[in-house]
Structure 1
Amino acid sequence: MTHTFPVHVYYEDTDLAGIVYYANYLKFIERARTEWVRDMGVDQGILKEEDGVVFAVRRVEADYFIPAKFDDDLIVETRVDTMTGARIILTQEVKRAGETLFAAQVTIVAITESGHPARLPAIIRRNLH
């Protein structure tokens, strides 16, 4: 299952050359992951409050292929590659008109508020199987 999230490139997202500043791709994929979880019906605030579980990025491996530019309309695609008891590995791609501009493999872990490993919440496991 692939989740899609639209992103419009604003002037503030670009550098002096009018291309998207490299670190902003990480913001784009973070927003997409937040909406992906929300679209699963998961309220991360309630999850933290009731279960004491939050998500953290453990690893990102990214490739930049083609620059996005001011005023582009982009799509972030998110797919699950692997899921274990406490970890999800995702592939996220930023595309313009079907062409991949940026791709990342992102490892997300479930942790307690004190930073200790935690089991992925049941609602997440159910929605991803």
Structure 2
Amino acid sequence: MDHRFSLRVYYEDTDLAGIVYYANYLKFIERARSEWVRGLGVDQAALKEDEGLVFAVRRVEADYLSPARFDDMLEVITRPEAVTGARIVLEQDVVRDGEVLFSATVTLVMLSGNGLPTRLPANIRLLLH
């Protein structure tokens, strides 16, 4: 169930050294997760409006392995590793020409309208199995 999301590195993504600023990798994997959820058929805006539920990142463990640079074409590969009643654990890699530049393990949870953790809806859990 790998999901692939392509993006180009723009000048605004880089730092003074001309490499991708470390925090921007988190933005890249966030965009890929949003597209992954959309690809599953989950409308996050409707989920928030209709049920008062939103996804939230609970934990990120990240490894910066090699730098990306201006104008690089990157691919973010997202793979679900574990799904429980309350969380989704994803592996996300940022890749250039087959080389993994950045790797992260991301734990997502669901929050209710009052900001408290809640169980994942059954229909979303089913999409991931």
Q: Residue 80 of structure 1 aligns to which amino acid in structure 2?
A: P
Q: In the TM superposition, what is the alpha-carbon distance from 1:121 to its structure 2 partner? A: 2.1
Q: Residue 117 of structure 1 aligns to which amino acid in structure 2?
A: P
1:71 corresponds to which residue?
71
1:89 corresponds to which residue?
89
Identity of aligned residues (%): 67
2:44 corresponds to which residue?
44
1:25-78 deviation digits (Å, cap 9, x = unpaired): 000000000000001111101001111110110100000000000000000000
> CA RMSD, aligned part only?
0.8
2:33 corresponds to which residue?
33
SS in 2 for 1:95: strand
Give the Cα–Cα distance (whole angstroms) in 2 for the partners of residues 18 and 122 of structure 1: 45
Q: Residue 79 of structure 1 aligns to which amino acid in structure 2?
A: R
Q: In the TM superposition, what is the alpha-carbon distance from 1:123 to its structure 2 partner? A: 2.9
2:101 corresponds to which residue?
101
Give the aligned length: 129
Q: Residue 103 of structure 1 aligns to which amino acid in structure 2?
A: S
Give the Cα–Cα distance (whole angstroms) in 2 for the partners of residues 117 and 12 of structure 1: 35
- TM-score calculated relative to the size of structure 2: 0.97
Q: In the TM superposition, what is the alpha-carbon distance from 1:89 to its structure 2 partner? A: 0.6
- TM-score calculated relative to the size of structure 1: 0.97
Give the Cα–Cα distance (whole angstroms) in 1 for the partners of residues 33 and 52 of structure 2: 19
5+ residue gaps, structure 2, are: none
Q: In the TM superposition, what is the alpha-carbon distance from 1:107 to its structure 2 partner? A: 0.5
Q: Conserved in 2, the CA contact under 8 Å of 1:42 and 1:123?
A: no
